[in-house]
Amino acid sequence: MYYNKVDICGINTSSLQVIPEERKKSLLQKSKQGNMEARHELIYGNLKLVLSVVQRFTGKRENLDDIFQVGCIGLIKAVDNFNTELDVKFSTYAVPMIIGEIRRYLRDNNAIRISRSIRDLAYRALQAKEELQAVNDKEPSVDEIAKKLGCEREQVANAIEAIMDPISIYDPVYNENGDSVCVLDKICDTTSGDDIWLENIALRDALEKLDDREKTIIILRYYKNKTQTDIAEYIGISQAQVSRIEKAALEKMRKHMT
């Protein structure tokens, strides 16, 4: 499915019909008795319900045609398992079935494997979040969700974070007048301040003051992590000579930087 199309899995979504409630009850009764035509009409007549659920997952990286098909599986399970003796609307029963089927699909197809216990906690947390939001008409905090579940705050926070989809550093976080700001543009290195930057410049400048042999030894010793013995063998001189040249080069660099 694409935003500029109304075609999903070969179905024109603009032509989908909604079955009236009375007709739906009659079809559910017939379907329970084994009437396959009633079952087929129920499934096709509730595809719009699947479509409304699929729209909740438009931010996922999975193909939405695939998600729609998985949602239809959830709808079929709802049709086949609905208890007509209970005073419950079919949509009230079907929506959680469709959502559950889609979430299982996304979980099982996730490239990053997460333990079942963490996944289960995360989905219970999301369900609790929806329930709290419906009651309080506001976004619940992690503390409130943890309290409802009887779990530690850190456990809930880590579980929810574990099932979140990774984002690309090139994903836009802000758009205005055609100009986009990506995640990459918001990343900064707090460990490399101006002092470190200036120090690196000074080191490179001091390194340039050395002769070729001194420069080679310092680079191999401190940038390539070679031992004095390795360097001696590489250059073709003794280890003692390497040691003397290294000390003289470091002293020369120190004087230049002070």
Q: Is the model's pLDDT at 157 over the cut of 70?
A: yes
Q: Is the model's pLDDT at 10 over the cut of 70?
A: no
> 3-state DSSP call for residue 180?
strand
| Region of poorest pLDDT, from 112-116, 165-169, 253-257 | 165-169
Q: How far apart are CA 148 and CA 124, in angstroms?
A: 10
pLDDT digits (tens, 9 = 90+) for 204-250: 888 888 998 999 999 898 888 888 888 998 889 998 899 999 999 98
Largest Cα separation within the chain, whole Å, is 97
Per the CB < 8 A criterion, the answer to whether 128 and 145 are in contact is yes
Q: How far apart are CA 23 and CA 45, in angstroms?
A: 10
User: Using a CB cutoff of 8 Å and minimum separation of 24, what contacts does 15-23 make?
Assistant: 16/47, 16/48, 16/51, 17/45, 17/48, 18/45, 18/48, 19/45, 19/46, 21/89
pLDDT digits (tens, 9 = 90+) for 72-89: 999 999 999 888 888 788
Residue 130: name the closest of 98, 87, 99, 101 by CA.
99
Residue 6: name the closest of 79, 55, 56 by CA.
55
Angle at 106 (CA atoms; ends 122, 82), nearest 5 degrees: 85
What percent of the chain clears pLDDT 70, i.e. is strictly above it? Answer: 73
Q: How far apart are CA 68 and CA 88, in angstroms?
A: 24
Per the CB < 8 A criterion, the answer to whether 164 and 125 are in contact is no
pLDDT digits (tens, 9 = 90+) for 28-50: 889 889 899 999 998 888 888 88
Q: How far apart are CA 95 and CA 78, in angstroms?
A: 9
Tokens 């990343």 map to which residue?
187
> Residues 58-67: what's their mean pLDDT?
71
CB atoms within 10 A of CB 102: 24
- The structure's pTM equals 0.43
Cite the DSSP H helix spans in the chain: 21-32, 36-45, 47-54, 64-81, 90-108, 116-136, 142-149, 153-162, 183-186, 194-207, 212-218, 228-235, 239-257
User: Using a CB cutoff of 8 Å and minimum separation of 24, what contacts does 207-210 make?
Assistant: 207/253, 209/252, 209/253, 209/256, 210/249, 210/252, 210/253
> The tokens of 39 are what?
């079952």
